[in-house]
C-alpha cells in the first residue's frame, strides 16, 4: 500500500470521545488532525510534513498514535 493511499483512507473517528484522565493530543497530533480535515484526497507524507512543519518521523508517529488512541480510523 502506498503512503498516499494509506493516508487517503484515514478518517477522523466520529465516535471518538476523550475520557477523563486521557492525555491531551500532542502538538504534532493536533496539526495532523487539522491537516486531515483540510486535505481530503491526494494526501502524502511530503505534503503533511510541509504544511504541518513536522519531520517525517513526527508525522508517522503522530498518525500511528492517533490510530492507537482511536481518534483516527481506516475506511
Instruction: Please write the tens of the pLDDT for every residue from 9-19.
Output: 999 999 998 87
Can you give the pLDDT at residue 15? 92
Task: Quick: pLDDT tens for 27-48.
Answer: 999 999 999 999 999 999 999 9
List of residues 6+ apart from 31 with CB closer than 8 A? 52, 53, 54, 62
Tell me which DSSP letter residue 68 carries.
H
Answer whether 13's CB lies under 8 Å from 70's CB.
yes
- Geometric angle at alpha carbon 65, from 48 and 25, rounded to 5°: 85
Closest CA to 40 of 12, 19, 64, 20: 12
Amino acid at each position: 500500500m502506498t503512503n498516499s493511499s494509506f493516508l487517503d483512507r484515514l478518517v477522523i473517528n466520529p465516535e471518538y470521545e476523550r475520557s477523563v484522565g486521557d492525555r491531551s493530543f500532542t502538538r504534532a497530533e493536533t496539526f495532523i488532525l487539522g491537516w486531515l480535515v483540510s486535505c481530503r484526497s491526494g494526501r502524502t507524507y511530503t505534503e503533511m510534513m510541509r504544511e504541518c512543519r513536522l519531520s517525517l518521523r513526527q508525522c508517522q508517529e503522530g498518525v500511528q498514535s492517533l490510530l492507537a488512541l482511536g481518534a483516527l480510523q481506516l475506511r
